[in-house]
Structure 1
């Protein structure tokens, strides 16, 4: 029996899929591990509490440069969020985030995730983090610079304007849960 050939979708066809907005939620429910969810939740809270100029958003679809990526955490300046006639945010974000954060989960392929970070940096993103809970390391990316690996008590790079001093040790410390 010959396998049926599958015609790859064009970018435009992908964007028109009826369940595209369910995709991040589906992946979140069926794929991501507990550590991923805890780190994502804590990052959202600590970043939002450290700035008034930016907001941290979970699983925001960002469509730009011929791709549609969904970082685990997208940090975006408030003044870059387009509003509709009612003063509410537009549903389609068509720019890269200012800061993209990815958390490696067991089902993720590191190179695919790094490729999305690099794509974002090439199109205007200022900072990328790749968090690896198994290695207890955070790989940071800046445009046109070599990546840097952070472990232990080294202070992590954050966006200018965000008053946040954070180390890899603190980030992974969030995973220690005391049972009562």
Structure 2
């Protein structure tokens, strides 16, 4: 008996699928469409707070939640994509173009329950290979942040250890402060 596997989906065909922008978003990796898990409350609150923290610490970059980034054969939707303003293409009318076709400068992923760690790391490594300067994988259950940088071994950070950020962002955060953010109101942020 012979089993035939369906041919892999092309990136072009994936981008034409009518449901890929449904919530939660779909990603395209290695010929396969994969739906991200639905974020839970802790994830969403931390994501919201991190976007505000990054945006409040720079005028050169913007932090964008759930932005589709399609580049180098993949289409991914990081929890937070931090991108230099001058890398966002503008239309003839001066508005940002909808499609972002490059790796973000900094990718931040917050693990969701049931999410495969290897897939998250694979996306971060893909971004670093194609121009990202930094990647964070935030683990809510372990209270840790795994830091990825080009040409360096990953670093696990916990407690009051200062987290690496990219040049041009004046942000001083520790994992301890990050995990406190998800339980505080904006007035209490560091």
TM exceeding 0.5: yes
CA RMSD of aligned residues (A): 2.0
Structure 1 residues 143-168: Cα deviation after superposition (integer angstroms, max 9, x where no partner)? 11100011000000001110110000
Aligned twin of 1:13: 13
The answer to whether the 8 A contact 1:50-1:162 is kept is yes
Quick one: structure 1 residues 118 and 173, their matched pair in 2 at CA, closer, same or farther if it must change by over 3 Å? same
- Shift of the alpha carbon at 1:68? 0.5
1:34 is aligned to 41
Q: 1:121 aligns with which of 103, 106, 128?
A: 128
Partner in structure 1 of residue 163 of structure 2 = 156
Runs of 4+ in 1 over 6 A off after TM superposition: none
The corresponding residue for 2:30 is none
Matches of 1:89 and 1:39 in 2, distance apart? 26
Pairing 1:1-180 to 2, within 5 Å after superposition:
6-24=6-24, 31-176=38-183
CA distance in 1, matches of 2:156, 2:16: 38
SS at match of 1:22: coil
Q: Deviations over 1:75-128 (max 9, x none)?
A: 000000000011001111000000000000102100000000000000000000
Q: Partners of 1:93 and 1:107 in 2: how far apart?
A: 28
| CA positional deviation for 1:7 | 4.4
TM-score (norm 1): 0.91
Following the alignment from structure 2 to structure 1, what is the Cα–Cα distance between the partners of residues 5 and 177? 49
Deviation, 1:21, is: 2.4
Q: Deviations over 1:30-70 (max 9, x none)?
A: 72111100110000000000000000000000011100011
Deviation per CA, 1:3-48, whole angstroms, max 9, x where unpaired? 99654311221111122222545868x7211110011000000000
Equivalenced residue count is: 175
Q: Partner of 2:92: helix, strand, or coil?
A: coil
Can you give the 5+ residue segments of structure 2 that lack an aligned partner in the other structure? 27-34, 186-190
Instruction: Summarize the Cα distance change of 1:24–1:60 in structure 2 as closer, same or farther, 3 Å threshold.
Output: farther
Distance in 1 between residues matched to 2:107 and 2:136, nearest whole Å: 6
Tell me by how many angstroms 1:169 deviates.
Answer: 0.2
Between the aligned partners of 2:56 and 2:13, the Cα distance in structure 1 is 38
